[in-house]
Structure 1
């Protein structure tokens, strides 16, 4: 066991945040902490890493265990470039590398006892260097940085010039390279695109240490964790399994608790009625019996209601009128900012009743498309046509449609002046804004609270075409599920941008993947997209290979069109060209086999040489020690070259 939290309690003044919270994390275990916004998840992480105090309880971390912590809003300052900062993650590697070179140079001119001493030092240094994976450290740095979305030309950028999100990714990369025994992450996916999240999933799932995560990304949690700690109404409950397992078990537990609560309430009501009736007899025996029953009732352990009345917002989208079948038609759309081209000549349609998700890497232009549909940006070329009776409501991830100086009450009142004060208060209460909350200014609200205000305005709009930009940002898991149900039950049309794969999987009937400046269409949810994307990319790769062998390069790669049909090439390779391409591929396959054979040979040889170093015959012979150590180093360098060539061919 690497971490144990026992009976943790934490209050801010009279506000109890955590009460008797207990759980533990085993070595190599992957666990998540979940709960609604404000339930104390981030506070608990800060308590564990010593950045916040607590009122009572015990936190025990395994002796000598190293802990890495990534805060939700990471403060990361450095005067170094990204690559320079990464190289400090394991400072011992650089020190050992320098020491080994120095020892090797000195051994060339040494002899006798001095040479024996240098060889022993070199062997010790090399052994420690191998323990730290020193030979693969540079490639490990490159792999982690690229996995988290950095390109080669980003490596030399000074960290001081990066955005807040980029700095958080640098901090995450450095922590992963340091490989602590326990990684603690607070919303690690907030600044990552889908490819980076997918990479991080694989990295953490195979991580040799323990991982504790706070995240609202349910798909991410499903892929990684085997334990879920739920914080609800200040208390903790531990569930085994991933997020989907937790969701099922939690619902079953809530149903059971609700049944127990209702049964107890019925029993309490029955006993109170009996007590009242006994007292009404006004006889000594009946009064004593009433008092006895009252004492038993007073001693009863009361079951708390599992879900309080005001913990979930009420969300229902209802279009005022029905639109025509053709809701949106986009043709030949292009957009650039200076020399940066986001996309060119894209086209797609949206039909009535569809729920369409636009996905893609950060910076590909997804939000730009939504803004152009809403006439907030002008396209460079192309047309955007809305169908008959289409009424749009727009949810902006930056909440620019909200007026920062207005109160919540004024924001609703000014947008919908026909609503009465009571109607406005009831509406805001449905989105968890009660009493004096309604007089808070928009600028003083949290991201999640602004999101709820935007959703309230969206619901009041009566629109039949919802355009949503990252609607799940800042929403807790319960609120996401409510939004999912509202969208699935909506009789109108929805077009949205999201990185939340669980949300996409639950709501999308079609996915538009904005990749390589083009739109690729997938008819289905996110699981279907993952399945078909791999087939699509394999087909494109084959077409690219064929096109490269063609002298006129006129073969076009196949991709899904907006209507879901594959474009096919009109140009066919000649019989001779096909034979040449087959011969080229056979040549590469033969080279791969030779490389793999040499890699196996060198690895076996290094194992034998390492064992030889431990024998009495060699360990007492300085000349042989030097020869074998040099041979191992030479083999290792050759292995690096072979691996690079193997990866290049693959």
Structure 2
């Protein structure tokens, strides 16, 4: 055991955050703490590290153990360079190496007992040095810094001149190089590109010490952790396995709990009806029997209704009009800033109904490309053509679309004056703004909160071509799942930049990989892209490729069956979306006809129509026609519902 949390409780201003948190972290174990935003995950970390004091319970560390903590907010103003900061992390091993080198010099001049003592110290020091991998400390520093996205040309950069994200990567590098017994990481992937995240996954998976992570990156958690600690309503529950295993077990648990709850509620309702009926007989025996049942009912241990936070959080994206088949065509696009060329001669085609993810290392121009498409930046050369009836909705990381002087509620209601208060509140609730939260002034919100407002605003637009720049940043797992569902049911076209590989896997039908050498097309989700890239199946050249033609030029997956499986899965997904749309339309038509027939029955019952034979026959004929159509629609509905 490296860490134990026992019965941890914490409240702020009378509001309980953590009620009863219990878990163990064993040596070498990799675990995740998950829960919705506001569940108390960061609070728990601060209690573990001693920044907060628990109201009740205790945190127990293994005697003599060490830990390193990466918080979400890094305030580093050091005038040391990045490399000097890493040297400080290795100061113990560097000092030990200096002692060894000094002993090597001393040994040549010593004799007798002094030599014997020096040799004993030398043996002890070199043994410690070897066990600490001392001979590789320089290469380890370089490896960690490069792995987390720093080029050697940046090693001498003073830390106080770095951006917030870069400072976070410096802090993470320092922790990893110190090799503590326990690493505590709060959202470690927020400022990393995909290559750096993959490097960190490998590092942590092979790390000998224990790791405890707070993260909303489900793909990252799948790769790293073997235990999940869920914080829900202030209580903790431990699941063995990675995130996907947790999600499956949690769903089964909720389903079983819901079944128990519904069965019990049904039995309670039945008993209450029997009791009411017995009392209505108004006989001594029947009343006694009713009282006996009431006593039995009062002793039942009630099953709690399982938490189903997603049940009312559904977002629908509905374009006002469908665009033409050709949504976006880019020809020969180039963009540079000063002497730095981001991309040259890009050729891109996007068709209606596609969900296209744009990937690439930091600095390759992904956000720049989105801004050019959205007319916020001018390209140096090239052409951009939008298809017929294309209406763009844009999500900007920098939140330029928001008015800082307005409240959240006013921002939405002013943009969409026809929406009811209930509809606005429901959408905002899906993005974690409830109660009085909706009246916060936007200028007072954090970057993450502004991002959620922008996303909520975009979800209400009637755009048929949605462009998203890192849409899942600052969203918790539930909100990400809501967004995924909305995109998967969307009838329009989506083009996005994202580092969230799980999100990409769930939504993308095509991947574009942008690099200084060009752009490569992969007809599949992230796993397919990764499989093809690692297999070396790349079809771009230095001049870039035209994506309309790239489908033919892309090499076939290996084995061939993988391509066929992917094709079938895409076709099946398309069928499922069509079926869902047909089902929705059928239900809408059934509702319309049933309402119309109710109206017809009312009209036939009017006194003036009862004596008007021709009018009555006309109404009745229409009624019978509707009834016949309804029978067909019921059959169709049952077939679609199967």
TM-score for both structures, normalised by structure 1? 0.80
CA contact (8 A) 1:394 1:467 kept: yes
Change (3 A) 1:241 1:494: same
Of 51-60 and 324-333, deviating more is: 51-60
Helix, strand or coil: the match of 2:188?
coil
Of 108-117 and 364-373, deviating more is: 108-117
User: In the TM superposition, what whole-angstrom CA distance separates every residue of 1:146-204 from its partner, at most 9, and x where no partner exists?
Assistant: 00001101111111111111111111111111111111111000010000000000000
Say whether residues 1:564 and 2:541 are aligned partners: no
Change (3 A) 1:85 1:452: closer
Identify the residue that residue 135 of structure 1 maps to in structure 2: 135
Say whether residues 1:191 and 2:213 are aligned partners: no
Change (3 A) 1:114 1:9: closer
Alignment of 1:468-547 (within 5 A): 468-516=468-516, 518-536=518-536
1:206 shift after superposition: 0.5
Number of residues of Structure 1 aligned to a counterpart in Structure 2: 553
Change (3 A) 1:24 1:309: closer
1:136 shift after superposition: 0.6
1:99 shift after superposition: 1.6
Question: CA–CA distance in 2 between the matches of 1:267 and 1:57?
Answer: 39
Identify the residue that residue 210 of structure 1 maps to in structure 2: 210
Change (3 A) 1:424 1:130: closer
Of 368-377 and 307-316, deviating more is: 307-316
Change (3 A) 1:289 1:446: farther
1:308 shift after superposition: 4.7
Identify the residue that residue 253 of structure 1 maps to in structure 2: 253
Say whether residues 1:71 and 2:71 are aligned partners: yes
Question: CA–CA distance in 1 between the matches of 2:312 and 2:147?
Answer: 37
CA contact (8 A) 1:559 1:567 kept: no
Say whether residues 1:454 and 2:454 are aligned partners: yes
Change (3 A) 1:460 1:98: same
Identify the residue that residue 559 of structure 2 maps to in structure 1: none
Change (3 A) 1:357 1:492: same
Question: CA–CA distance in 2 between the matches of 1:452 and 1:539?
Answer: 37
Question: CA–CA distance in 2 between the matches of 1:333 and 1:558?
Answer: 11
User: In the TM superposition, what whole-angstrom CA distance separates every residue of 1:630-650 from its partner, at most 9, and x where no partner exists?
Assistant: xxxxxxxxxxxxxxxxxxxxx
Q: Which structure 2 residue ranges, 5 or more long, are not aligned?
A: 555-642
CA contact (8 A) 1:324 1:387 kept: yes
Question: CA–CA distance in 2 between the matches of 1:344 and 1:260?
Answer: 61
User: In the TM superposition, what whole-angstrom CA distance separates every residue of 1:604-644 from its partner, at most 9, and x where no partner exists?
Assistant: xxxxxxxxxxxxxxxxxxxxxxxxxxxxxxxxxxxxxxxxx
Identify the residue that residue 648 of structure 1 maps to in structure 2: none
Identify the residue that residue 466 of structure 1 maps to in structure 2: 466
Identify the residue that residue 585 of structure 2 maps to in structure 1: none
1:229 shift after superposition: 1.1
Change (3 A) 1:338 1:91: same
CA contact (8 A) 1:335 1:343 kept: yes
Alignment of 1:194-343 (within 5 A): 194-282=194-282, 286-308=286-308, 313-343=313-343
Identify the residue that residue 362 of structure 2 maps to in structure 1: 362
Across the aligned residues of Structure 1 and Structure 2, the Cα RMSD in angstroms comes to 2.4
1:425 shift after superposition: 4.2
Helix, strand or coil: the match of 1:536?
coil
Helix, strand or coil: the match of 1:88?
helix
CA contact (8 A) 2:372 2:379 kept: yes
CA contact (8 A) 2:520 2:538 kept: no
Identify the residue that residue 101 of structure 1 maps to in structure 2: 101
Question: CA–CA distance in 2 between the matches of 1:169 and 1:459?
Answer: 33
User: In the TM superposition, what whole-angstrom CA distance separates every residue of 1:324-362 from its partner, at most 9, and x where no partner exists?
Assistant: 111001111111222222222211111111110011112
CA contact (8 A) 1:9 1:55 kept: yes
User: In the TM superposition, what whole-angstrom CA distance separates every residue of 1:49-68 from its partner, at most 9, and x where no partner exists?
Assistant: 21112222232221111111
User: In the TM superposition, what whole-angstrom CA distance separates every residue of 1:365-419 from its partner, at most 9, and x where no partner exists?
Assistant: 1111111111111111111111111111111122221111111221122212333
Change (3 A) 1:191 1:81: same
Question: CA–CA distance in 2 between the matches of 1:525 and 1:463?
Answer: 24
Question: CA–CA distance in 1 between the matches of 2:256 and 2:331?
Answer: 54
Say whether residues 1:29 and 2:29 are aligned partners: yes
TM-score for both structures, normalised by structure 2? 0.81
Change (3 A) 1:5 1:121: closer
Question: CA–CA distance in 1 between the matches of 2:503 and 2:138?
Answer: 37
Identify the residue that residue 60 of structure 1 maps to in structure 2: 60
Question: CA–CA distance in 1 between the matches of 2:134 and 2:538?
Answer: 35
CA contact (8 A) 1:26 1:210 kept: yes
Question: CA–CA distance in 1 between the matches of 2:291 and 2:189?
Answer: 59
Helix, strand or coil: the match of 1:402?
coil
Alignment of 1:587-598 (within 5 A): none
Identify the residue that residue 345 of structure 1 maps to in structure 2: 345
Question: CA–CA distance in 1 between the matches of 2:248 and 2:422?
Answer: 38
